[in-house]
Structure 1
Amino acid sequence: MALPTVGTTPPRVLTIAGTDSGGGAGVAADLRAMAACGVHGCVAVTAVTVQNTLRVSDFHPIPPETVAAQIETVAGDIGLGAAKTGMLADTPIIEAIVGACDRVGIGRDGIPLVIDPVAASMHGDPLLADSALDAYRTLLFPRATLATPNLDEVRLLAGVDVHDRAGQYEAAKVMHAFGPQYVLVKGGHLREDTDVCVDLLYDGHTFTELPGPRFDTGNTHGSGDNMASAIASALARGMDVPDAVAFGKRYIVEAVRHSYPLGAGHGPISPLWAVRNWWEQSA
């Protein structure tokens, strides 16, 4: 999977997500990850948050018609190899996204679509209206190439409270029944795993465990955004879903390994390891 040569247009990936004024998550994190993974990132902003490393104190949804217009304008001119979602805020925005994606061919049978079902910040601050959970189940997941819930999102969306590996397998089955082609149940919040973090990929027939080291750090802000963005980037660069997920897992392991403190709360994971060679050689 070679990087684009000088002067050639790289694959394009659209993030449909909210902002993070602290820069650790949301579209800021998505665009950093996409650049590190060798693609050109485009943006459809769904909401503007007021947040730092300690909490989300407020957020303001973008008008649904504006969200849809961003998607259609980018797809119609620039073209897309993949898209991913993050914070979607409420049902009208989700409905507008679904309509726009259908019109431009984004979805499991067209341009690959990665759904990261963001429902709350890592501090526990809500980022999704409760009424929008059903819109995820009935509108977004059936269109998804891949859904990437963490265990808290699994509990909210599927009603499965995962405490062990068996529960993770059960959660994958329940989430897959909502309609995505693949589901990746992330294991970062599984307390029984003290030295390893196991993500579980399921396509309705086959389970694949993707283990990685667990790091003793509280600086994991933006990890879900980064992983979904890395996977979407790999899909845009021509990988199939299992290989793209494995690529995303390798990326996120290094990004967490190189996470850094920021502010008084949770610092972000870092894509800077992926560009380290350039700026070390240029120093």
Structure 2
Amino acid sequence: MYSYPCALTIAGSDSGGGAGIEADLAAFAALGVWGTAAVTAVTAQNPGGVAGAWPLPPDAVAAQMRSVFEAFPVAAAKTGMLAEAGIIRAVAAAVPAGIPIVVDPVMVATSGARLLAEEAAEALVRHLIPRAAVVTPNIPEAEALAGMEVRNLAGMRAAAEAVLAMGAAAVVVKGGHLAGAPADLLLDREGEALLTGTRSPYDVHGSGCCFSAALSAGLARGMGLREAFPAAKAFTADAISHAVPDRSGRRSVRPLWRCGRGEEKSG
């Protein structure tokens, strides 16, 4: 039977197309991976903020996942917005053993809207992080998970160690919220890897989703984490540099920027 790289995103829908399921599927497509999806919540949002969010029943999320796993050779899965503890438990139970999971612990939107119920954080730590091939928190998420302030590279390392102790196989702490040149730190049982980058002159909606989706696509294509990490960072940097502005000038990542081009209209 013909085999092809296939990944599953388990996340909320972003009506503005810049993050969530929409951004994940665009990243999968750009990287040559067949994308499948289980929607956890419907949101009314755009790059300026979240106007509303409606989580789906956990049984509905699990049913979507079962349908995908029955028909497609899913080689990696990723999670985004999971909203509630019941959804987290359903997701953890539905992913078959052996499929690597990239856990993007989406807690609060860039606009400040809460996307994970406070009581659900315990379920994330108990049921999903121990299943994770890699957890990809930004600085506020790393602080929330580790219960500590993160102000520099040493803090990133300490937070990563705390999340690693929760049972994850690896952690990538994304340093974009810190001052100075942005750096991302990978920590696993073998040691660490640090990647630095150039700060974008503008804020971009969906960069975290794009990165975790690209990381998942790399795993689905057979890359090891140490290979997929720099590839995902480079891919996300390109998606940021070609970001799409909305009417007010707020920008969203553009994973499929090579398709159709049109850069002259995007700035």
Q: TM-score, normalised on structure 2?
A: 0.94
The number of residues matched between the two structures is: 262
Structure 1 residue 267, shift from structure 2 partner: 1.5
State which of 144, 147, 151 in structure 2 corresponds to 1:159.
147
Structure 2 CA distance for aligned equivalents of residues 97 and 70 of structure 1: 10
Structure 1 CA distance for aligned equivalents of residues 165 and 82 of structure 2: 22
Structure 1 residue 99, shift from structure 2 partner: 1.2
Structure 1 residue 238, shift from structure 2 partner: 0.6
Aligned pairs (5 A) from 1:76-87: 76-87=70-81
Q: CA RMSD in A?
A: 1.6
Identity of aligned residues (%): 44
Task: Assess if the C-alpha contact under 8 Å between 2:200 and 2:240 holds in 1.
Answer: yes
Aligned pairs (5 A) from 1:208-227: 208-218=193-203, 220-227=204-211
Task: Assess if the C-alpha contact under 8 Å between 1:173 and 1:204 holds in 2.
Answer: no
Structure 2 CA distance for aligned equivalents of residues 157 and 144 of structure 1: 14
State which of 35, 41, 45 in structure 2 corresponds to 1:47.
41
State which of 186, 192, 198 in structure 2 corresponds to 1:207.
192
SS of the aligned residue for 1:153 comes to helix
Structure 1 residue 77, shift from structure 2 partner: 1.2
Structure 1 residue 149, shift from structure 2 partner: 0.3
Deviations 1:62-84 (A, max 9, x none): 11001011111101111201000
Q: What residue identity is the alignment partner of 1:211?
A: T
Structure 2 CA distance for aligned equivalents of residues 73 and 62 of structure 1: 16
Equivalent residue, structure 2, for 1:198 = 183
Deviations 1:160-181 (A, max 9, x none): 2111111111111111111110
- Whether 1:258 and 2:242 are equivalent positions in the alignment is yes
Task: Assess if the C-alpha contact under 8 Å between 2:215 and 2:229 holds in 1.
Answer: yes
Aligned pairs (5 A) from 1:215-254: 215-218=200-203, 220-254=204-238
Equivalent residue, structure 2, for 1:3 = none
Structure 2 CA distance for aligned equivalents of residues 276 and 163 of structure 1: 40
Greater strand proportion: 2
Q: What residue identity is the alignment partner of 2:24?
A: D
Task: Assess if the C-alpha contact under 8 Å between 2:10 and 2:79 holds in 1.
Answer: yes
Change (3 A) 1:265 1:156: farther
Between 1:60-69 and 1:202-211, the stretch displaced more is 202-211
Structure 1 residue 276, shift from structure 2 partner: 5.8
Structure 2 CA distance for aligned equivalents of residues 100 and 59 of structure 1: 23
The runs of 4+ residues in structure 1 deviating greater than 6 Å are none
Task: Assess if the C-alpha contact under 8 Å between 2:27 and 2:256 holds in 1.
Answer: no
Structure 2 CA distance for aligned equivalents of residues 156 and 177 of structure 1: 15
- Whether 1:148 and 2:136 are equivalent positions in the alignment is yes
Structure 1: stretches of 5+ with no match in the other structure:
1-7
Structure 2 CA distance for aligned equivalents of residues 74 and 121 of structure 1: 27
Between 1:207-216 and 1:126-135, the stretch displaced more is 207-216
SS of the aligned residue for 1:67 comes to helix
Q: TM-score, normalised on structure 1?
A: 0.89
Task: Assess if the C-alpha contact under 8 Å between 2:3 and 2:73 holds in 1.
Answer: no
